[in-house]
Amino acid sequence: MDRAIGVFDSGIGGLSVLRALRVELPHQHFVYIADSGHAPYGERDTAHVLARSRAIVQHLAGQNVKALVMACNTATAAAIPLLRLAHPGLALIGVEPGLKPAVALSKTGRIAVMATRSTLSSDRFAALLASQAGQAAFVLQPCDGLAGAIERGAETGNTAETMALCARFISEMGRFGTKQGEIDTLVLGCTHYPFASPALRALLGPDVQLLDNGEAVARQTRRLVLAGVEAPASTAAGQVSLYTTGPPHTLQAAARRWLGLAGPVEVLSI
Ligand code: DGL
């Protein structure tokens, strides 16, 4: 079989990136790992996130993947430079909050960023923010508990907890809208949050732009994989293999609900 592309996240959030990857690269095979047994990453210390990212990248590199997408902003912020050093031959693609595209889109020059506490306090995010200094005013919102609420909602279909948290975070960020002084662009800086888009949209109305980086990451992966090294051997639809380090039912429910994937989920101990 053609070599797969590895994708991982602390849980089901990376499925938002996998969804974009499958659109961009429909003939490629993917191996997805949800590190649910060690989640959430966003409220843990950097050492934990680094150790988990290292173990998973090591595992996927051992499966001879042709590229590896770290579909997690928190893991990218904590670990990508060190993992690139440790795996120089591996095409490692990370995901970061889309501040630059938000600056290009915003008309009011006020942009809010929802992300995990760990991403927002990382040196990597500080450098990203500094690169946009003077381009816009940024409101940074750590969203404790939101990734967990989205995980629970994926399983039960009940989004009340996600809705309540989103309402609280939105009221903390300030006034949204398209008038001067209002926030007109909201960056979803955690791969779980695109799955809260219906709640955010219901709370914010149609005019505020919601921005995530899944499609940009998928395009970058496509460039690397196709420029790279090898084209797909066949024109048949790619396969997706799903693994988790936690209980399988959350990933199973989320993959079915959001990607229409009905395949089995295998439990890994890494
Ligand atoms: N999905 C992850 C991200 O993009 C974090 C979720 C978590 O806190 O584990 O940052």
- Please, which pLDDT band fits residue 148 given cuts at 50, 70 and 90? very high
220 lines ligand 1 (CB under 6 A): no
125 lines ligand 1 (CB under 6 A): no
- HSE-CB for 211 with a 13 A CA cutoff: 23
Dist. CA 148–CA 60, nearest whole Å: 25
Per this entry, what is the length of the chain? 270
Indicate whether 88 pLDDT > 80: yes
Dist. CA 109–CA 178, nearest whole Å: 10
- Maximum Cα–Cα distance for the chain, whole Å? 55
CA of 164 to the centre of ligand 1 (A): 19
191 lines ligand 1 (CB under 6 A): yes
- Catalytic positions, please? 72, 190
CA of 135 to the centre of ligand 1 (A): 26
Q: What's the pLDDT at 12?
A: 97
Question: Which of ligand 1's atoms lies nearest the C-alpha of 147?
Answer: 6
Question: Which of ligand 1's atoms lies nearest the C-alpha of 115?
Answer: 10
Beta strands across the sheet bearing 110-115: 137-142, 110-115, 185-188, 209-211
- In sequence order, the 6+-apart residues with CB closer than 8 A to the CB of 37 are 244, 245, 246
Strand partners, 242: 32, 265
CA distances from 211 to 25, 101, 215, 238 (A): 21, 8, 10, 27
34 lines ligand 1 (CB under 6 A): no
pTM assigned to the model: 0.96
pLDDT in tens, 17-47: 999 999 999 999 999 999 999 999 999 999 9
End-to-end CA distance of the chain: 24
Indicate whether 143 pLDDT > 80: yes
pLDDT in tens, 185-240: 999 999 999 999 999 999 999 999 999 999 999 999 999 987 754 555 567 889 99
Q: What's the pLDDT at 266?
A: 97
Q: What's the pLDDT at 1?
A: 63
Q: What's the pLDDT at 41?
A: 97
Mean per-residue pLDDT, 73-89: 97
- Please, which pLDDT band fits residue 263 given cuts at 50, 70 and 90? confident
Dist. CA 47–CA 25, nearest whole Å: 33
Ordered structural domains, the chain, with CATH: 5-95+214-267 (3.40.50.1860), 99-211 (3.40.50.1860)
CA of 79 to the centre of ligand 1 (A): 13
Dist. CA 17–CA 103, nearest whole Å: 22
CA of 120 to the centre of ligand 1 (A): 12
24 lines ligand 1 (CB under 6 A): no
162 lines ligand 1 (CB under 6 A): no
pLDDT in tens, 234-258: 678 899 999 999 999 999 999 999 9
Ligand 1 probe mutation, 17, 113, 190, most atoms within 8 A of CB: 190
pLDDT in tens, 90-129: 999 999 999 999 999 999 999 999 999 999 999 999 999 9
Indicate whether 2 pLDDT > 90: no
Q: Residue whose CA is closest, atom 8 of ligand 1?
A: 42
- HSE-CB for 70 with a 13 A CA cutoff: 30
Q: What's the pLDDT at 233?
A: 55
